[in-house]
């Protein structure tokens, strides 16, 4: 699959550095306030959680700190990202970090065995995202949650100003990287994302926009709310995924 590095012309090490440096901005107090209210309230005390395109593992680390004893899985296509993630501490959580191309490979999880899947700034680079969305839906327990955070379409002037003023790129770098990345970062509108999620069999529960460039969607596999909640609680209490 295409990667941020191949699209932008940057090295693995450069992208790793940028992701580590910008993590506090991307996952600051506003994000965690939204997560706690709209996502965390629906999770069991020791959830099974997946981060697709986990990068350096920092979001998984943060989730592990908030859910001691949980099980967290991170998948990425870049060896440098997985190596960095494996060097982090996840406290009492059981953490597995694996090289995997989620655009072409199935997730190594049973159906209905996962409480939360997260994916940030990755799905927009896929040539065809519906297959990956179907795989996410497959592994989620009924009533489980998928949190998608990704780029939304902006005017070119706004996008270049964001790279200059927020990412602090030099004028030359802003132009070089901005024009290369603009088609990928501005592929989808909010309505496009909502359509894709619905087409893949998800029901929208909530959404917000904490940054001008990105929108967050919280969705669950479709089905009647009563059936979803009953099945989700059965998985949580038994600790065993339902057979499919």
- pLDDT band of residue 168 (cuts 50, 70, 90) is confident
Task: Render pLDDT for 32-56 as a digit per residue (tens, 0 to 9).
Answer: 999 999 999 999 999 999 999 999 9
Q: How does the average pLDDT of the chain come out, rounded? A: 89
- Per-residue pLDDT, 1: 58
DSSP label at residue 240: S
Pairing of strands 48-52, 202-211: unpaired
Question: Which string of DSSP letters, residue by residue, matches 111-142?
Answer: TT-EEEEEEES-GGG-S--HHHHHHHHHHEEE
User: Does 213 score more than 80 pLDDT?
Assistant: yes
Strands lying side by side in the sheet with 94-99: 94-99, 71-76, 48-52, 114-120, 140-151, 214-221, 202-211
- pLDDT band of residue 239 (cuts 50, 70, 90) is very low
**Residues contacting 198, CB < 8 A, separation 6+:** 204
- pLDDT band of residue 220 (cuts 50, 70, 90) is very high
pTM: 0.85
Q: What are phi and psi of 239, to 5 degrees?
A: 75, 15
- Per-residue pLDDT, 71: 98
- C-alpha–C-alpha distance, residues 144 and 56, integer Å: 24
- pLDDT band of residue 11 (cuts 50, 70, 90) is confident
Token pair of 128 as six digits: 């065809």
User: Does 108 score more than 90 pLDDT?
Assistant: yes
- pLDDT band of residue 225 (cuts 50, 70, 90) is very low
């Amino acid at each position: 699959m295409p990667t941020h590095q191949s699209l932008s012309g940057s090295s693995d090490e450069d992208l790793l550095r940028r992701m580590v440096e910008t993590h506090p901005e991307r996952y600051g107090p506003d994000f965690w306030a939204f997560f706690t209210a709209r996502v965390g309230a629906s999770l069991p005390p020791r959830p099974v959680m997946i981060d697709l395109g986990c990068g350096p593992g920092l979001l998984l680390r943060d989730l592990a700190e908030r859910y001691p004893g949980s099980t967290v899985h991170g998948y990425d296509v870049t060896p440098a990202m997985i190596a960095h993630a494996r060097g982090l501490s996840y406290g009492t959580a059981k953490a597995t970090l694996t090289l995997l191309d989620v655009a072409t490979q199935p997730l190594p999880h049973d159906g209905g065995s996962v409480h939360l899947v997260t994916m940030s700034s990755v799905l927009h680079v896929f040539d065809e995202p519906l297959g990956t969305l179907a795989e996410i839906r497959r592994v989620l327990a009924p009533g489980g949650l998928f949190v998608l955070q990704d780029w939304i379409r902006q005017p070119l002037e706004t996008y270049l100003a964001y790279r200059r003023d927020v990412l602090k790129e030099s004028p030359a770098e802003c132009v070089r990287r901005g024009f290369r990345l603009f088609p990928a970062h501005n592929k989808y509108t909010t309505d496009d994302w909502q359509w894709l999620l619905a087409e893949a069999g998800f029901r929208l529960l909530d959404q917000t926009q904490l940054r001008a460039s990105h929108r967050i969607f919280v969705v669950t596999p479709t089905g009647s709310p009563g059936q979803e909640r009953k099945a989700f609680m059965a998985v949580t209490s038994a600790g065993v995924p339902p057979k499919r």
